[in-house]
Amino acid sequence: MKSNIKPAEGKLGILIPGLGAVATTLIAGVEAVRKGISQPIGSVTQMGTIRLGKRTENRRPKIKNFVPLANLKDIVFGGWDVYEDNVYEAAMNAQVLDANLLFKIKNELEAIKPMRAAFDHNYAKNLTGTHVKQGTRLELAQQVMEDIQNFKEQNGCERIVLVWCGSTEVYFEASDVHSSLAKFEEGLKNDDKLISPSMIYAYAALKLGYGFANGAPNLTVDIPALIELAKLTKTPIAGKDFKTGQTLMKTILAPGLAARSLGVNGWFSTNILGNRDGLVLDDPDNFKTKEVSKLGVLEDILRPEENPDLYGDIYHKIRINYYPPHGDNKESWDNIDIFGWLGYKMQIKINFLCRDSILAAPIALDLALFIDMAKRAGMSGIQEWLSFYLKSPQTASGLQAENDIFKQLIKLENTLRHLMGEDLITHLGLDYYEELVEDVVS
Ligand SMILES: NC(=O)c1ccc[n+]([C@@H]2O[C@H](COP(=O)([O-])OP(=O)(O)OC[C@H]3O[C@@H](n4cnc5c(N)ncnc54)[C@H](O)[C@@H]3O)[C@@H](O)[C@H]2O)c1
């Protein structure tokens, strides 16, 4: 089988609602890489390799040389924000990247000015931006569609993908207006307040057939109405919440403990962070959205109901505190109470001094590139193979999410192999020994 993926010809527009810390770190990073100043470390599409065929074949190309991804040279960035700052100013404010580095790419960054946001203060009460669109939800969606089309024309883009890097919206659960496309479109007309701003961007993108990835824990595309629209317009979607920092560590460590059948009866996670994300999460309604996204991870990996002796009593607690002096340099502590042979107790402590947006930016890049490729490959709807990048992966209804990062990687790699007509790798490995045995016998 040969690949049926259309080639990545022409320019790819990556449009980002929310030009804050993550988005500006992504854009500045790609500019720096294009100028040869830096390397795209942490990006699996750019730096990662993939094994193909049998181990004895020694085939391990870079992923970007294996599948037809857009070249970084062909990417054009744009976006929306409730603040007017251009990307240079926003990146300086975010204080993630060094001012010297930003100065070297100042012209490119200054040229990217946010379009007016589709915003509703009730979804992020700690934000007071005024660079916003006016109108009903339907009018906002139409304005976003116009923005996208204008951007595409003005920049000569062949393709567009949207990645939500906007603030975490307040917590709410899907309801009737989200239950079907017809009801959702009726809700847009009626300016139904249960349709959040991120859903408006997602609707606009999907309606036009452009892929959408959600980097925040909001529902956004994780509702039947937008899944239906994605299927209708044959468009890929992925969500939700970039898997960085503490949750990344959790999904690396928990599978290891479970693999060794070690018990866990407590996992206390606390974070301090001082960026605008932290400010938004200081509101209990916005924190609730994040908490729900983070909490599911351990249960999904340890499956207490299937193994009550080891995980039945687990106490899992998550805290996020806004602490301005730390800026984007989030600090997290985990105290993990585990037990081993005959129930003897042990403890693990993790103190991760991480840089949140440094971990998130390459994820946003990879999601954009893979979603663009998925569209060219004719894949539509939920792209579960991109769970690898997400804290709370979207799955088909009734399907339990896979949060173990190693299984997620196998799924991602096998999807790429499948798309390119390569053999899937099961890691069984018996065939090597059977051949050896045959050699000996013969
Ligand atoms: N930093 C990380 O590592 C990380 C990890 C996982 C998820 N996230 C999520 O990604 C998102 C972005 O994080 P960040 O650190 O860049 O936050 P940030 O606060 O620096 O940036 C978010 C930006 O979105 C803008 N915004 C809010 N609502 C908007 C709307 N309706 N339309 C357009 N713009 C809007 C805000 O004005 C702000 O500039 C957050 O939801 C965060 O929870 C971040």
Same domain, 28 and 83: yes
Tell me whether residue 159 is in a domain: yes
Q: Is the minimum distance from the CB of 22 to ligand 1 under 6 angstroms?
A: yes
Question: What is the number of domains present in the chain?
Answer: 2
Same domain, 47 and 187: yes
Task: Give the pLDDT score at 292.
Answer: 79
Same domain, 145 and 20: yes
Tell me whether residue 19 is in a domain: yes
> 187's torsion region: left (phi>0), alpha (psi -120 to 50) or beta?
alpha
Tell me whether residue 436 is in a domain: no
CATH number at residue 262: 3.30.360.10
CB 33 within 8 A of CB 19: no
Give residue 322's identity as a one-letter amino acid code.
Y
Task: Give the pLDDT score at 431.
Answer: 84
Which residue has a Cα nearest atom 8 of ligand 1? 216
Same domain, 180 and 280: no
Same domain, 286 and 365: no
Tell me whether residue 441 is in a domain: no
Q: Is the minimum distance from the CB of 165 to ligand 1 under 6 angstroms?
A: yes
- Give the C-alpha separation, 197 to 200, whole Å: 5
Same domain, 178 and 104: yes
| Local structure of residue 180 (DSSP, 8 states) | S
Same domain, 226 and 323: no
Query: Of 302, 329, 353, which residue constitutes the final position of a domain?
Result: 353
CA of 166 to the centre of ligand 1 (A): 4
Ligand 1 atom with minimal separation from the 79 CA:
33
CA of 60 to the centre of ligand 1 (A): 36
Task: Give the pLDDT score at 125.
Answer: 87
Tell me whether residue 110 is in a domain: yes
Same domain, 40 and 103: yes
Ligand 1 atom with minimal separation from the 127 CA:
37
Q: Which two tokens stand for residue 433?
A: 């020994």
The Cα-based distances of 77 to 28, 120, 161, 219, 357 in angstroms read 10, 24, 10, 24, 17
- Give the C-alpha separation, 356 to 377, whole Å: 32
**Which parts of the chain sit beneath pLDDT 50?**
442
- Give the C-alpha separation, 406 to 251, whole Å: 9
Q: Is the minimum distance from the CB of 116 to ligand 1 under 6 angstroms?
A: no
Task: Give the pLDDT score at 435.
Answer: 67
- Give the C-alpha separation, 216 to 241, whole Å: 4
Cα torsion at 17, 21, 24, 25 (round to 10°)?
-130
Domain of 280, in residue numbers: 245-353
Ligand 1 atom with minimal separation from the 242 CA:
6
Q: Is the minimum distance from the CB of 81 to ligand 1 under 6 angstroms?
A: yes
- Which of 1, 61, 96 is closest to 329 using CA atoms? 96
- Give the C-alpha separation, 378 to 344, whole Å: 52
Query: Of 353, 369, 401, which residue constitutes the final position of a domain?
Result: 353
CA of 207 to the centre of ligand 1 (A): 23
Task: Give the pLDDT score at 436.
Answer: 61
- Sheet containing strand 315-322, edge to edge, reads 315-322, 263-273, 331-339, 345-353
Task: Give the pLDDT score at 377.
Answer: 97
Same domain, 113 and 191: yes
Query: Of 326, 353, 380, which residue constitutes the final position of a domain?
Result: 353
Same domain, 226 and 335: no
Tell me whether residue 428 is in a domain: no
Q: Best of 19, 22, 93 to mutate for ligand 1, by most ligand atoms within 8 A of CB?
A: 22
Same domain, 41 and 92: yes
- Give the C-alpha separation, 339 to 347, whole Å: 8
CA of 340 to the centre of ligand 1 (A): 41
Tell me whether residue 4 is in a domain: no
CATH number at residue 181: 3.40.50.720
Q: Is the minimum distance from the CB of 127 to ligand 1 under 6 angstroms?
A: yes
**Which burial class, exposed, middle or buried, applies to 188 when counting CB atoms under 10 A from its CB (0-12, 13-18, 19+)?**
buried
CA of 215 to the centre of ligand 1 (A): 8
CA of 47 to the centre of ligand 1 (A): 25
Task: Give the pLDDT score at 2.
Answer: 63
CA of 344 to the centre of ligand 1 (A): 43
CA of 275 to the centre of ligand 1 (A): 10
Tell me whether residue 438 is in a domain: no
Same domain, 75 and 208: yes
The Cα-based distances of 41 to 46, 76, 374, 407, 432 in angstroms read 8, 20, 23, 22, 34
- Give the C-alpha separation, 26 to 77, whole Å: 10
Query: Cα angle at 148 between 142 and 150, to 5 degrees?
Result: 100
Task: Give the pLDDT score at 174.
Answer: 95
pLDDT tens digits, residue range 296-317?
Answer: 889 999 999 999 999 999 999 9
